[in-house]
């Protein structure tokens, strides 16, 4: 039985049996790793609060080689990202980033760049950068790193070069499509400004992308576009999106 050690972020967990937890980590050296943390739900568990979602730590696990699930030996906290977990909008965006990785990456498919992107995004959320912007910048890069980069320079059906009127993004087809190539109920309509900004965000360094001045409508459109791309790649609306839409629900009017 082999023992491994790697940096990891907790991207999911659920109760297992009477006192265990089924854990999901995104690790720097092994990609997504799922495993069992024995007795983690007991009051005096040696894991204590270490297994909270979004926590960055050093994961030590045993791999018997006989199961997809590893045995979590311990998880030492490097950074708990408490300020992300204590703030609804940051938590919602953080939950979306980890759900992207949980749902779109395969087990044991290492991608150090994706791990670095996740940690940078959590740090940006904690630093107080606008959570929606962090999610846009994460989404643009994560989709690329996961191998789903959509083409935005031409219609993927007929090859006609962009710009053209009424472009829409067909995630299944792999990029922009033009109107003559047919109406598609599932395609995401995109303004010219959104197409241009997506291209710029891809080319920018991380810090530049986080600070690129954008109008509120464009920020909102890019959020919807990235959320739409991820939902289509997953095949359903992510759980974190339902949480986010609840936090966005308007407050009841104050009675005068
Ligand atoms: Zn076309």
Query: Which CATH class, in words, describes the domain spanning 2-82?
Result: mainly beta
SS3 sequence, 99-117? HHHHHHCCECCCCHHHHHH
- Residue 182's pLDDT is 78
Instruction: Give the environment of ion ligand 1: residues with CB less than 5 A.
Output: 155, 157-158, 178, 181
Buried b (16+ CB within 10 A) or exposed e, 112-130: eebbebbbbbbebbbeebb
CA of 181 to the centre of ligand 1 (A): 4
- Residue 71's pLDDT is 96
CA of 245 to the centre of ligand 1 (A): 34
Whether the upstream peptide bond of residue 134 has omega within 30° of 0, thus cis, is: no
- Residue 252's pLDDT is 47
CB atoms near residue 176 (< 10 Å): 26
Please tell me the distance from the alpha carbon of residue 236 to that of residue 234, in angstroms, as a whole number. Answer: 6
CA of 232 to the centre of ligand 1 (A): 21
- Residue 208's pLDDT is 96
CA of 195 to the centre of ligand 1 (A): 16
CA of 153 to the centre of ligand 1 (A): 12
Task: List the structure tokens of 69.
Answer: 């699930």
CA of 229 to the centre of ligand 1 (A): 19
pLDDT (tens, 9 = 90+) of the chain, 256 residues, equals 799 999 999 999 999 999 999 999 999 999 999 999 999 999 888 887 789 999 999 999 999 888 899 999 999 999 999 999 999 999 999 999 999 999 999 999 999 999 999 999 999 999 999 999 999 999 999 999 999 999 999 999 999 999 999 999 999 999 999 999 977 888 999 999 999 999 999 999 999 999 999 999 999 999 999 999 999 999 888 888 877 777 665 544 444 3
- What pTM did the predictor assign? 0.92
- Residue 256's pLDDT is 32
- Residue 136's pLDDT is 97
CA of 160 to the centre of ligand 1 (A): 6
Task: List the structure tokens of 156.
Answer: 């993927």
Residue 168 contacts residue 191 (beta carbons within 8 Å)? no
CA of 57 to the centre of ligand 1 (A): 47
CA of 221 to the centre of ligand 1 (A): 23
CA of 237 to the centre of ligand 1 (A): 28
CA of 209 to the centre of ligand 1 (A): 30
- Residue 184's pLDDT is 83
Task: List the structure tokens of 162.
Answer: 């962009």
Longest dimension (CA), the chain: 68
Domain with CATH 2.40.50.140 in the chain: 2-82
- Residue 64's pLDDT is 83
CA of 161 to the centre of ligand 1 (A): 9
Residue 190 contacts residue 176 (beta carbons within 8 Å)? yes
């Amino acid at each position: 039985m082999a023992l491994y050690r790697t940096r990891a972020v907790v991207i999911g967990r659920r109760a297992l049996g009477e006192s265990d937890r089924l854990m999901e980590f995104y690790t720097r050296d092994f990609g997504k790793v799922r495993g069992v943390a024995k007795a983690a739900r007991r009051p005096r568990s040696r894991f204590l609060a270490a297994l909270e979602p979004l926590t960055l730590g050093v994961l030590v696990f045993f791999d018997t080689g006989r199961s997809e699930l590893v045995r979590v030996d311990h998880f030492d906290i490097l950074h708990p990202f408490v300020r992300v977990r204590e703030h609804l909008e940051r938590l919602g965006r953080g939950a979306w980033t980890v759900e992207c990785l949980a749902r779109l990456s395969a087990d044991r498919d290492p991608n150090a760049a994706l791990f670095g992107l996740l940690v940078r995004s959590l740090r940006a959320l904690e630093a107080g950068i606008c959570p929606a912007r962090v999610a846009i910048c994460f989404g643009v890069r994560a989709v690329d790193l996961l191998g789903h980069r959509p083409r935005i320079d031409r219609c993927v059906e007929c090859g006609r070069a962009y710009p053209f009127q009424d472009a829409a993004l067909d995630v299944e087809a792999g990029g922009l499509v033009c109107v003559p190539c047919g109406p598609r109920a599932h395609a995401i309509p995109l303004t010219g400004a959104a197409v241009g900004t997506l291209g710029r965000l891809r080319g920018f360094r991380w810090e530049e992308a986080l600070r690129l001045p954008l109008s509120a409508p464009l920020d909102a459109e890019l959020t919807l576009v990235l959320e739409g791309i991820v939902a289509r790649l997953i095949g359903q609306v992510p759980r974190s999106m339902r949480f986010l839409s609840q936090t966005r629900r308007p407050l009841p009017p104050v009675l005068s």
